[in-house]
Amino acid sequence: MGRPVSELLGSSYREIIFGSYRIIYKIENEIRILTLRNSRQLLILAGIEL
């Protein structure tokens, strides 16, 4: 499992760094990928459905 997402403290979302990308996901009954971002980009929550 990846580490907690610092921008989403208190949530159950986790992240894995793969190359220069952040894969942000949540494990429920299945794995739900929230977003895939270049690590240089800031994570702006306005455009993301939690």
DSSP type of residue 44: -
Indicate the Cα dihedral angle 27, 30, 34, 37, nearest 10°. Answer: 90
pTM: 0.78
Instruction: Report how far residue 24's alpha carbon sits from residue 17's, in angstroms, rounded to the nearest whole number.
Output: 9
* H or E stretch covering 21: strand 21-27
Which tokens sit at 2? 């990846």
What tens digit of pLDDT does each residue of 2-48 get? 999 888 888 889 999 999 999 999 988 999 998 888 888 877 776 66
